[in-house]
Amino acid sequence: MADSIEKVSIVISKGSLEGVYPGLIMGNGARMEGIEANLFFTFFGLDVIRKNRIDKIKVGTVGNPGMHMPTWIGAIPGMSWLATKMMSRQMDKIDIPPVREFIEMIGDSGGKLYACQATVDMYGLSMDDFVPQVEKVLTVGEFYELSAGGEIIFT
């Protein structure tokens, strides 16, 4: 029998809906299974935990091969908004919560959320810029230390 997973650390580096939901779903699923979950947000993934951006995450339509349409169509004004609305409706149908609610659920269930120090410095941010569920800002070394003995997942 395989060993059970007791801890996961999930790196979220993308700032689009299709880029953040896999990590949020996996983090929430881990907590629902009693698995320790640490979510580390870096680069554009920081948008998910920023107070002023958390409710503005959209589907990336330009150059997204998963959209199965030419890049120029994705660049038409309003396409990202339309794709975001369509995806949000589909997620509502299967009871997947919006990003803010997901972040709250993960935090409330004991999941830990962290921001990447290098990215925070690069963007000139501070803890005041983040939603209250963010525990702290970590360096990569601190993230590795926190992740020791668990699985690291990069979404």
pLDDT tens track for 3-47: 789 999 999 999 888 889 999 999 999 999 999 999 999 999 999
Residue with tokens 């409706």: 89
For the 8-60+98-154 domain, the top CATH level (class) is alpha beta
Range from 63-77, 105-119, 135-149 carrying the lowest mean pLDDT: 63-77
d(CA 150, CA 3): 12
Task: Encode 37-93 in three state secondary structure.
Answer: EEEEECHHHHHHHECCCHHHCCCCCCCCHHHCCCHHHHCCCCHHHHHHHHHHHHHHH
Q: Which residues pair with 116 in a beta bridge?
A: 138
Residue 93 pLDDT level (bands cut at 50, 70, 90): confident
Domain boundaries, the chain: 8-60+98-154
Model's pTM, two decimal places? Answer: 0.87
Provide the 8-state DSSP code for 150. S
